[in-house]
Each structure stands twice: as structure tokens, then as C-alpha cells.
Amino acid sequence: MSLMVVGSVAFDSIRTPYGEAEEILGGSATYFSVAASWFAPVRVVAVVGEDFQDRHLGVFRERGIDISGLERVSGRTFRWRGEYLNDMSEARTLETQLNVFEQFQPKIPETHASSEFLFLGNIHPELQLHVRRQLSGARLVAADSMNFWITKTPRELAQTLKEVDALIINEGEAKMLSGLENLCKAARAIQAMGPRKLVVKRGEHGVTFFNDGSVFSSPAYLLDEFKDPTGAGDTFAGGFMGHLARSKDLSDANLRRAVVYGSVMASFAVEDFGLQRLLNLSVEEIETRVREFTRLTHFDV
């Protein structure tokens, strides 16, 4: 059942066509752990500054998330400011203050070293590898990355990719990482770099999951309200890994189910600003939407 995530905890300031929010709790590890907490116990490893308050810690505690690996250091918490225009397919970053995140050296509590499932959020690939090697007994290790590391630290990223089981990135990143425009060819090239499981997030167009030689394509859940895409990718990863940690079943059929749970969690995340919808959820709502998702995609021939 043990699931650990390492990544960022941040304060986000967001503007979308539907409103804005100032300095709300965000970051990859936050979205991941809140989403995963609906499925399995989660341990978060991250760093925050002195400005991180009890009410912020309370968000994790209320979801039963283990924050013994959430380090607090002097300085300010990571801040990001961005906006989404028109169809909200891409964020425009207005300001990034790395603050305490710049010197982040993940420290893994002894109790966490036996975690069976590990998600390496979007941090320097050397740090990802460092964490990965400390959890040598993990049954499934998944990683995220981004354009910045693909172009700036290709050698370090290549080494990390050799040692992870799954890579969860978006379509543009998959094409950039492989240098190939065709998604099938890009996937095979990335699988040859190490991760036999590749989840390609395609935003409002769903997810394509390459698992060795098997491929699963799933559309996105259709929403009437779509307010804020921030954290959708990490929320997907949280639902995906959370379901796997809960079920402990790494069969292809169950990995496909995990893609559906991830998609459903992401569909909740974007319905409101920040974490609001993910906190204000119920197991019944999740299961109801999974059934709706099944109806949305079902056919027989």
C-alpha cells in the first residue's frame, strides 16, 4: 500500500478566463498526494519555507498524508504565477520564484525507504535518480519530467530513465524527448531508453498508454465546467499511482484501469481553482464518474 512522492510544494497565483486566485497551495507533490490520498496512504517528500503555515499543513493532514518527509527550512516557499488564455491548452508563466526549492535535496525518512510505489515529480533528474536508488525495493517507480530537463540535462535524464519503470509526460514532451513527431515511433524510442511503461498525457484529448507492446488510448472525460488546468497532470499521476498502490496489481488490465482513475481525478481537478475540488470530493463521486467514463467510451463490435 505504501506510496511515496517527491516533488514540489508551492504557492500558485493563477489567472484563467474564469477567474483568478492568489498564492494558493499547489505544486506537483501537493496535487499528486491529495489525488492519491483518495486511494492509498501517501508519503510526501518536499521542502517548504518559513511562510508555510499550519493551515497549509492542515490540508495534507486532513487527507491523512504522511508529512514527516516535508522539510521546513529558512526562506520562502516556491512561488509560481501563471495565466491561461482562450482554450487553456497551455500555461503562460508570468513569474517563477524557486526560493527554498532551488536548494532542495530530498531527505527520505527511514520509514519511507520501504515504499513499494514511488512517483518522482518533475525535479532535476539527478535528484530523481538519487531518490530512486534509495528505494531499491520499489515495485513500481514512475517519473515525470519536462522540456527544461530534456534540453538542459539530457545526460542526467537519460541515466534516470534507465532506472525507472514508467514515464508520465505530455505529448509535446514525448515528441521532444524522442525527436520524433509520430507518437507510436516516439513511444518506442522512449521505451528503448528505459521505461517500458509510457503514459502520454494529451490534455483535453485524453491519454495514450504504452505498456511494452500493448497500447491503450482513452479520451478525456467531457466537462461542462473547466476552470483551471493547473495540476491536472500531477493529479492524473496521483490517481494512476494511487489506484496501483491500492490494488497492488500491475497487470495490463489493471494499469488501464489506473489510467481511467487518473483521468477521472484530473477531470475533477480542473473543475475548480487549485485543490478545491480534489479536497471537496467523495469516494462515491469518484466511482460514479468512473462509471460515467465507462459509458462515455464503451462500444462493442
Q: Which of 206, 229, 233, 274 binds a copy of itself (CB under 8 A)?
A: 206
Q: Which of 45, 259, 266, 270 binds a copy of itself (CB under 8 A)?
A: 259
87 binds a copy of itself (CB under 8 A): yes
Q: Which of 185, 212, 249, 280 binds a copy of itself (CB under 8 A)?
A: 185
Residues 128-167 that bind a copy of itself (CB under 8 A): none
Q: Which of 181, 213, 282, 284 binds a copy of itself (CB under 8 A)?
A: 181
Stretch that binds a copy of itself, among 32-40, 54-62, 227-235, 255-263 (CB under 8 A): 255-263
Q: Which of 205, 212, 248, 288 binds a copy of itself (CB under 8 A)?
A: 205
Q: Which of 224, 282, 283, 284 binds a copy of itself (CB under 8 A)?
A: 224
- Cβ pair 39, 64 in contact under 8 A: no
Rounded to a whole number of angstroms, the minimum distance from the CB of residue 185 to a copy of itself is: 6
| Residue from 254, 230, 228, 226 nearest 242 by CA | 254
Strand bridging mode 207-211 / 214-218: antiparallel
* Torsion sign over Cα 136, 4, 249, 185: negative
219 binds a copy of itself (CB under 8 A): yes
CA distance 188 to 85: 33
Letters for 41-80 (x = contact with a copy of itself by CB under 8 A, - = none) are ----------------------------------------
18: left (phi over 0), alpha (psi -120 to 50) or beta: alpha
Q: Tell me the number of residues near a copy of itself by CB under 8 A.
A: 37
Q: Which is nearer to a copy of itself, 159 or 254 (CB)?
A: 254
296 binds a copy of itself (CB under 8 A): yes
Rounded to a whole number of angstroms, the minimum distance from the CB of residue 158 to a copy of itself is: 24
257 binds a copy of itself (CB under 8 A): yes
Which distant-in-sequence residues (6+ apart) come within 8 Å of 36 by Cβ? Answer: 3, 5, 42, 238, 239, 241, 242, 245
Stretch that binds a copy of itself, among 64-72, 128-136, 151-159, 182-190 (CB under 8 A): 182-190
- Interacting residues with a copy of itself (CB under 8 A): 86-87, 181-185, 202, 205-206, 208, 214-220, 222-224, 226, 253, 256-257, 259-260, 290-291, 294-301
